[in-house]
Structure 1
Amino acid sequence: MTESIGTDIYIRNEREAEIAQRSDRLAALFASRAAHHDTEGSFPFDNFADLRESGYLQLTVPRAYGGEEASLYELVLAQERLARGDGSTTLAVGWHVGLMHQLRFTNAWPETLYARFCRESVETGALINNLATERATGSPSRGGRPETKAVATEGGWLISGRKTYSTLSPILTCFTVSAAIEGTEETGDFFVRSGSGVRIEETWNTLGMRATGSHDVVLKDVFVPDDQLIHRSGAPRKERKPDEGGWLLHIPACYIGIAHAARSFAINYAQHYRPNSLNTPIAELPNIRRQIGEMEIELVTARTVLYSVADRWDREPERCKALKPELGLAKHVATNHAISIVDTAMRIVGAASLSRSLPLERMYRDVRAGLHNPPMDDIVVNGLAQRALDEVKLMNS
């Protein structure tokens, strides 16, 4: 399913090799279960048990709390290799390991709450996700005010509302939500534990990424203590560092991993399939070789952009803000190239690629989902255009 670690130029040292090896082992297990969870639309609890047992869930937790404190580059490597087995599981766990990476750098949570959750994640395998999207407001990146409400009460807050696209919802014991603070123009971010007043409405029945458990989460007068209010918009954020979005590279890493698996499947098929009209496998045909070459160009391009941006992010922390357009570029290139790669893989395999007995049709449906993960293509393109316009204007001034 994956090439030997020694041939992967993006593995630079022993630690990275160990991270890749773990992801490869898990990916092999997940690949054997992926079709079942996709068909059933079921949440892969078995995969998450393996992730917990392997230590993967503490990949980006600080060493001070028992984690591995992975760099952004290592996070990308782990996720890309894992996605070669199952895209749904990888995208879902990516929100947890990605958020833990983000929190390590932004100091967004009160230290006591952050330390407590880090230890809980390491000791019990607790997962976290930020539930922010709502049907009325769409993606939170578009700036809509949440319809979920927070009402002040003695000792804390009562939270009521509905969050959509709540990935990992079947397995989350805690999560964060954004809510409008009743009676004010402010909003707040709250740490919520599952329990009384929290229910999951199983709404996730989609074309692709069917096993991410991204159902609706409904909250009704859920009590949140004062010390679990992470932040309110009117309060100062003196200690919080800006979130420059590097952690979101877990998204393109996932889609490149799926594309890599599709490319490898198609090449293996071409090397072994020989119709009775030919004396050699179809891999020897000029048209098939051209298509393999085109897949390789797109895959190498996408991986080069992704890993180079992650490496620069780690090495040049003072330039993280300036690298934000490149983060968007990495996602744009990865997602669109992944769709093209899987499409070409299906052309190589032919009509058999439509069969549910082969993984390509699932991979094709899964990579389509990347178009709807942040940042969106239009935002990326507009941002790069603005940077180019500003650069030329400055040159001519």
Structure 2
Amino acid sequence: MNRSALIHTDIQRKWIAKFEQVKGQFRENAEYNDKNSDFPYKNIQWLVDEGYTLLSLPKAYGGEGATIEDMVILQSYLGSLDGATALSIGWHISVVGQIYEQQLWAPAMLDQFAQEIKNGALVNRAVSEAETGSPTRGGRPSTYVTKNEHGYLINGVKTFTSMSKRLSHFIVGAFDSESQQVGFYLVDKTMPGVEIANNWNMVGMRATESHDLVLTDVQIPTENFVETRAGKPSSPNGWILHIPSTYLGIAQAARDYAVDFAATYSPNSVDGTIGDIATVQQNIGKMESLLLSARHFLWSTASLYNNPENNNMWNETSASKVLVMNQGLEVIDLAMRIVGAKSLEMERPLQRYYRDMRAGLHNPPMEDMAYTNIAKSVLGKI
């Protein structure tokens, strides 16, 4: 069964038809943005204008009301066009989906922010810090808040703030020494003291412009203290599957490029094309099998979230990211072996796919944490 056969909802069909209309431009933009380490402003603006940022906002709030399964399928497709665009917009889709599904904020703030989203707002969480490493490890943030008569003052530096220059809002994790708790605070980019550091200089996912967010005496109103961290949540967050979805799309793009290359490249040392060589066929078979396995596991995990009684899918959710990343990396390695030394040419996209896929290893959940938590679950230690 091919991936198109798994597409079955009106939302999926609608957006894939839209993506088909711009796929050439998105791919062209991806090459330019990667070379210049520029954010994909044009791609993201198209997504905003077309209403893709409303995808995970529930219909009750004026959104499209997509399911996690819808998001996974669409993000996979978008990732095959441009990984940086997909990962960037995926953070917004994921954050909005979780906030509204789990009703994490007060009703008035949910209503207010839904209007902001409909007016084009883009949001991401800002939780990583140089001192604490990955937030999945549970370190206490160095970013801190101080309560005053006007609300809160926030100070600190957040790393890996994807889509930093295009975001309108940041959900910042910070520690309050008075209450001795970690909370999350909604920060508007227009607030005095909010700065972007312009220090993103990575070999992979260059176009996400995930610069540091610098907060210096940022005054926010009391109501913008939107969430508290009260231990482990009662159910897993399926919206985080936007991460493996993006990387599945990148692996698919590498596969498509290698298959097309094998079917058309005909050096004079070969009768026909290199696709007639047994070793190339073996690599294509391995590549396809790995993609089939990753796709079916990820998409079936996402479909389980359609049943509200499935609230214990911690293992499937964590394993999806680990499995997709490791098998996706192997897919790209095989694709590069098929194409050979030409795969390293900067004019070809395979080297970008490889660099972007490597970056995904460092997105949450971290592999060792995922395996440890799965093992604890199996052993009955959670």
Cα separation, partners in 2 of 1:135 and 1:84, compared to 1, 3 Å: same
Q: How many residues align?
A: 380
**What is the CA-CA distance between 1:241 and the residue it aligns to?**
7.5
In the alignment, which residue of structure 2 is the partner of 1:265? 257
1:185 maps to 2:176: no
**What is the CA-CA distance between 1:232 and the residue it aligns to?**
4.0
**What is the CA-CA distance between 1:313 and the residue it aligns to?**
1.3
CA distance in 2, matches of 1:367, 1:194: 30
Give the ranges of 4+ consecutive aligned residues of structure 1 lying more than 6 Å apart after TM superposition. none
Q: How does 1:295-334 map to 2 (within 5 A)?
A: 295-315=287-307, 317-320=308-311, 322-334=312-324
Q: How does 1:85-124 map to 2 (within 5 A)?
A: 85-123=81-119
1:147 maps to 2:138: no
Cα separation, partners in 2 of 1:293 and 1:185, compared to 1, 3 Å: same
Q: Which amino acid aligns with 1:76?
A: V
Q: How does 1:1-397 map to 2 (within 5 A)?
A: 8-123=4-119, 125-195=120-190, 196-232=192-228, 242-315=234-307, 317-320=308-311, 322-390=312-380
**What is the CA-CA distance between 1:184 and the residue it aligns to?**
3.9
Normalising by structure 1, we get a TM-score of 0.92
In the alignment, which residue of structure 2 is the partner of 1:394? none
**What is the CA-CA distance between 1:169 and the residue it aligns to?**
0.8
Q: Is the 8 A contact 1:26 1:50 kept in 2?
A: no
Q: Deviations over 1:198-232 (max 9, x none)?
A: 00001111010001121001011111101111134
Q: Deviations over 1:262-316 (max 9, x none)?
A: 100000011000000122011111111100000001000000000100001112x
Q: Which amino acid aligns with 1:288?
A: V
Cα separation, partners in 2 of 1:26 and 1:243, compared to 1, 3 Å: farther
Percent of pairs with identical residues: 37
Cα separation, partners in 2 of 1:13 and 1:143, compared to 1, 3 Å: closer
RMSD over equivalenced CA pairs, Å = 1.9
Q: Is the 8 A contact 1:26 1:82 kept in 2?
A: no
- Give 3-state SS (helix, strand or coil) of 2:207's partner: coil
Q: Which amino acid aligns with 1:356?
A: M
**What is the CA-CA distance between 1:243 and the residue it aligns to?**
4.9
**What is the CA-CA distance between 1:233 and the residue it aligns to?**
5.2
**What is the CA-CA distance between 1:26 and the residue it aligns to?**
4.0
Q: Is the 8 A contact 2:344 2:350 kept in 1?
A: yes
Q: Which amino acid aligns with 1:179?
A: A
CA distance in 2, matches of 1:9, 1:274: 32
